[in-house]
Every structure is written in structure tokens, then in C-alpha cells.
Amino acid sequence: MPSNISRRELVRKFRFLGYLGPFSGRRHQFMIKGRKKIRIPNPHGRGDIDVGLVREILRQAGITHEEWDKS
């Protein structure tokens, strides 16, 4: 089950799941895996990324809670 997480840990988990990046975009950085592209919250934000945003990112990426917990 996702929980609040630091940006560094979010990037680490997505890399473990096979995503490349983060790459610079116009407003946000992003990571890619094949044809999937997910936006990563800006690094200048304070504190951890809220659980609601983590869930939304996982939904957009098509990652199940089980896959996330294993990473």
C-alpha cells in the first residue's frame, strides 16, 4: 500500500520497476518505460509526496499496489 514518500525514494522505486529518467520536461520532470510516460513532482517541493498523489501516479502508470510494495 503506498504511503507518503520522498521524491528520491519515488524515483528509486520507478527505476526498480524499469522506468528510465527522470528527464527534464517543460514544467515537470518525467520518467519513461516503453510507451508509458509519467510525470514526477518537482524536486523543489518541501517534504514528502502525499499518499494521494502517489496513488494517482501509480494509477496513471498502471502499477498495482502489490508491484509497488515489492519494489
pLDDT at 42: 82
Q: Where are the domains of the chain?
A: 7-70
pLDDT at 3: 81
pLDDT at 2: 75
Q: Cα–Cα distance between 34 and 16 in angstroms, integer?
A: 15
Q: pLDDT tens digits, residue range 2-56? A: 788 999 999 999 999 999 999 998 888 999 999 999 999 887 767 889 999 999 9
pLDDT over threshold 80, residue 63: yes
Cell of 19: 522506468
Give the CATH number of domain 7-70. Answer: 3.30.920.30
pTM of the prediction? 0.88
Q: Are 52 and 59 in contact (CB under 8 A)?
A: no
Angle at 71 between CA 25 and CA 24, to 5 degrees: 10
**Which among 17, 9, 27 is positioned nearest to 61, based on CA atoms?**
17
pLDDT at 27: 87
